Amino acid sequence: MCGIVGYIGPRDATPIILNGLKRLEYRGYDSAGLAIVVEDRIEVRRDAGKLARLEELVRAEPVSGAPGIGHTRWATHGSPSVRNAHPHRGSNGRVVVVHNGIVENFLELRDELRAEGVQFSSDTDTETIVHLVEHHLAIGHDLTEAARRTFGQLQGAHGIVLMSADEPDKIVCARIGNAGGVVLGLGEGENFIASDIPAILDHTRQVVFLESRQMAVVRREGVEITSLDGVPVTMRGNVIAWDAAAAEKGEYRHFMQKEIHEQVRSLTDTLAGRVDLHEGRIRLPELNLTPDQACRIRRILITACGTAAYAGMVGKILIEKIARIPVEVQIGSEFRYSDPIVDENTVVLAISQSGETADTLAAMEEGRRKGAVLWSIVNVVGSQAMRISDGSISMQTGPEIGVASTKAFTAPLVDQYMLAILLADLRGTLDEKTRRALVADLRLIPDLAGRTLEREAEVEKVAWALKDVRDCLYLGRGINMPIAYEGALKLKEISYIHAEGYPAGEMKHGPIALIDENMPVVCLAPKDPWHEKMISQIQQARARGGTVIAVATDGDEVVADQADHVLWVPVTPWMLSPVVTAIPLQMLAYHIAAIRGLDVDQPRNLAKSVTVE
């Protein structure tokens, strides 16, 4: 979950690292630090808290040189403090390391090192890494070999970057397991290392992703990748299409707001080249799917976490309705422990913005182990989830920086709708007229999202009315039930207001006891097949004195009469309605958090990519 940046080349590493860390701060903001080789020594600057504190420190105590490495931390072992901030130095100060992941056997390793007389100066598991490297250097190995031997001793999943003042011509890094990516950025006479692409986009778009159990020796002139056993690996380069501006806030106050507004564009991009209106067909060549393979599928298991899992719940309804294939949704953290029934006729479909979420990757690995076909819907091109899949659909949303996921929620709704049509078409279970109508509806979606976004000012007014509430209930049914979960998650994660999403029909079985004048109830009541049922639910909430905020379709006077506030959405085909109903709830959560003066993009305790179990 931490952010890592490294630079080797002729330029001063300090601004490159600070700028890269700024782009990665969404990955962790408990502390930040950097280490720079200056002449024949290493200088370290680090501080607790956000990156701004480190920037202040560097202004007060400037440091320049190269190579250099930097880190933003999401604390696992040891409190967020200066002593636990990365980079960590070895005993003689000649070697430094930054790390993302957990050294699972660190207690054991620390005891062994202490027995050799090593003194620890932090509470972190990471510090064991640098002492182990020193140990191997002391017995005569060079940095590369010392690092390799150290990597072999570590249990758990890791991204590790280290360097030594005695071998300033190289930085050594490794990826072990699924602790988040290690990306090498290739420049001319200079090279970069990062845990995520935005950190290096200002400098290069040529990147190479390290696979698990690979390490790299990065020099000014080039990069050498080997397995941890020393076997050379042929590099497979990728060119990143995003530009650096895509990772800037621009005119918006927060990334989250910008990303909410980017949904017209992201939805347009996710449709581009995939919708054939003339033939009335969907094309997803990235899935490499033949009619024969499509016909063999007996079951689809969608696995994901958080917002992505709610997208999967919508997908279940779409795939079952359109393609008539049974679908289950299993959250990533439960999947591998549930002994899922999986065989070669099962597709495990992972949904992940980052493509690096540890629980989702573990679920995919479990699916692979049991012989399933692996598909993924992923935003970050080249991420682990994409690489290990048999077929993958790219969300095409561009970088999502705000910790609260928004545009990476709506794109996979559309991706799953397209997937459902494609599966039905290949299996021959959809008549042409229906297929053409479903495909034609897709072209409406960017415009419908745009019209929903135009109502931001009205949503903001409702946000002012709700800004001081302590609790909030979100109710939905059918295809909009997952949107109730998602709306509640958005509110709780950025505004710290307790919010619960609930299937509206279940309200009378318990949660109705909570409803009084202090409990606002957000009711998803667009014109979908569950509309009538939602109206009676709204009436029940009203009868208990709850303030009702309804998400309703333009012109729906019945709902308007029953609700205290209405968040209007345009008339939308019901299977695509979650795309538009999610948007006012994103804006509502955003504005409530912004009015409360909270750190919308970096909410407390959270990180963008959750790369620990």
Considering the complex, what minimum distance in angstroms separates the CB of residue 399 from ligand M6R? 12
Residue of closest CB approach to ligand M6R: 306
Q: Are 289 and 391 in contact (CB under 8 A)?
A: yes
Q: Which stretch binds ligand M6R (CB under 6 A): 24-32, 120-128, 143-151, 302-310?
A: 302-310
Considering the complex, what minimum distance in angstroms separates the CB of residue 416 from ligand M6R? 14
Looking only at residues 465 through 494 of this chain, which bind ligand M6R when binding is defined by CB under 6 A?
Answer: 489, 493
Q: Token pair of 370, please?
A: 């049991």
592 touches ligand M6R (CB under 6 A) = no
What torsion do the CA atoms of 209, 211, 215, 220 make, to the nearest 10 degrees? -10
260 touches ligand M6R (CB under 6 A) = no
Based on CB atoms, which residue is closest to ligand M6R, 113 or 304? Answer: 304
Which of 90, 159, 306, 476 is in the footprint of ligand M6R by CB under 6 A? Answer: 306
SS3 554: coil
Catalytic residue among 2, 173, 305, 472: 2
Which of 122, 195, 270, 352 is in the footprint of ligand M6R by CB under 6 A? Answer: 352
Whether omega for the bond prior to residue 80 falls within 30 degrees of 0, making it cis, is no
Considering the complex, what minimum distance in angstroms separates the CB of residue 181 from ligand M6R? 12
308 touches ligand M6R (CB under 6 A) = yes
Considering the complex, what minimum distance in angstroms separates the CB of residue 608 from ligand M6R? 7
Q: Token pair of 538, please?
A: 């709204």
Based on CB atoms, which residue is closest to ligand M6R, 162 or 378? Answer: 378
Based on CB atoms, which residue is closest to ligand M6R, 333 or 562? Answer: 333
With vertex at residue 207, the alpha carbon angle to CA 206 and CA 209, rounded to the nearest 5 degrees, is 165
Which of 354, 396, 410, 537 is in the footprint of ligand M6R by CB under 6 A? Answer: 354
Based on CB atoms, which residue is closest to ligand M6R, 191 or 581? Answer: 581
610 touches ligand M6R (CB under 6 A) = yes
Q: Which stretch binds ligand M6R (CB under 6 A): 30-38, 65-73, 84-92, 350-358?
A: 350-358
Rounded to the nearest 10 degrees, the angle between the axes of helix 577-595 and helix 481-495 is 20
Based on CB atoms, which residue is closest to ligand M6R, 99 or 492? Answer: 492
Looking only at residues 493 through 522 of this chain, which bind ligand M6R when binding is defined by CB under 6 A?
Answer: 493
How big is the chain by its Cα radius of gyration, in Å?
A: 25
**Cα-flanking dihedrals φ and ψ of residue 245, to 5°?**
-60, -25
For 413, residues 6+ apart whose C-beta sits below 8 A from its C-beta are 311, 314, 315, 318, 576, 578, 579, 582
SS3 543: helix
**Cα-flanking dihedrals φ and ψ of residue 306, to 5°?**
55, -135
Indicate if 2 belongs to the active site. yes
Based on CB atoms, which residue is closest to ligand M6R, 360 or 562? Answer: 360
Q: Token pair of 349, please?
A: 């479909």
Looking only at residues 13 through 32 of this chain, which bind ligand M6R when binding is defined by CB under 6 A?
Answer: none
Indicate if 467 belongs to the active site. no
609 touches ligand M6R (CB under 6 A) = yes
Catalytic residue among 316, 407, 490, 608: 608
Q: Which stretch binds ligand M6R (CB under 6 A): 253-261, 354-362, 477-485, 555-563?
A: 354-362
For 117, residues 6+ apart whose C-beta sits below 8 A from its C-beta are none
For the chain, give the number of residues: 613
- Residue 394, beta-bridge partner list: 378
Considering the complex, what minimum distance in angstroms separates the CB of residue 380 from ligand M6R? 8
* Buried-exposed string 160-187: b where 16+ CB fall within 10 A, e elsewhere: bbbbbbebbebbbbbbbbbbbbbbbbbb
Burial class (CB in 10 A: 0-12, 13-18, 19+), 288: exposed
Based on CB atoms, which residue is closest to ligand M6R, 151 or 485? Answer: 485
Considering the complex, what minimum distance in angstroms separates the CB of residue 215 from ligand M6R? 25
For 593, residues 6+ apart whose C-beta sits below 8 A from its C-beta are 494, 495, 600, 603
Binding mask 379-418 for ligand M6R (x = CB under 6 A): ------------------------xxx-------------
- Residue 209, beta-bridge partner list: 183
Burial class (CB in 10 A: 0-12, 13-18, 19+), 10: exposed
> Which residues are the active-site residues?
2, 608
List residues near ligand M6R by CB under 6 A.
305-308, 352-354, 357, 360, 403-405, 489, 493, 606, 609-610
